[in-house]
């Protein structure tokens, strides 16, 4: 019996994706036709986006809330391939610096209010 759908499991998150036969075939053609390679290197979109931003596998799993008890190690060459295929290069995570958005000076009215509330 021929199946109309195929299933891929993400090596980072363990989430399964059910694909139509045609889409599965297009994914298979993209990597050269080797099903073992496809199954051992498939990474879902959510995980791939985070890896492209520079997060490692452990941080990606943590950010996505993944239970790692049933998941194995991910080969670094797969992670590097995802990072290298990205057209956007991200640097220095985290990029948010609180000091760029706040000021050390306090408004005089706020200072008066704080002194009043804190009884100073």
Axis crossing angle, helix 76-85 with helix 45-52, rounded to the nearest 10: 80
Specify burial of residue 92 (Cβ count, 10 A radius: 0-12, 13-18, 19+): exposed
d(CA 64, CA 57): 11
Tell me which residues of the chain have a pLDDT lower than 50. Answer: 1, 92
- Which pLDDT score is estimated for 32? 86
Report pTM.
0.64
d(CA 56, CA 80): 10
> Based on C-alpha coordinates, what's the Rg of the chain?
23
- Which pLDDT score is estimated for 103? 53
- Which pLDDT score is estimated for 113? 81
Q: Which long-range contacts (CB under 8 A, 24 or more apart) does 90-94 make?
A: 90/52, 90/53, 90/54, 91/54, 93/53, 93/54, 93/55
- Which pLDDT score is estimated for 90? 53
């Amino acid at each position: 019996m021929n199946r109309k759908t195929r299933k891929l499991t993400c090596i980072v998150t363990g989430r399964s994706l059910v694909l139509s036969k045609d889409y599965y075939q297009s994914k298979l053609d993209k990597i050269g036709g080797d099903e073992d390679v496809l199954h051992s290197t498939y990474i879902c979109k959510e995980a791939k986006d985070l890896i492209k931003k520079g997060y490692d596998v452990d941080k990606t799993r943590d950010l996505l809330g993944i239970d790692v008890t049933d998941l194995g190690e991910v080969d670094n060459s797969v992670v590097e391939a995802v990072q290298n295929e990205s057209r956007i290069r991200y640097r220095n995570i985290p990029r948010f610096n609180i000091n760029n958005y706040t000021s050390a000076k306090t408004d005089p009215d706020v200072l008066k209010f704080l002194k009043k509330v804190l009884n100073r």
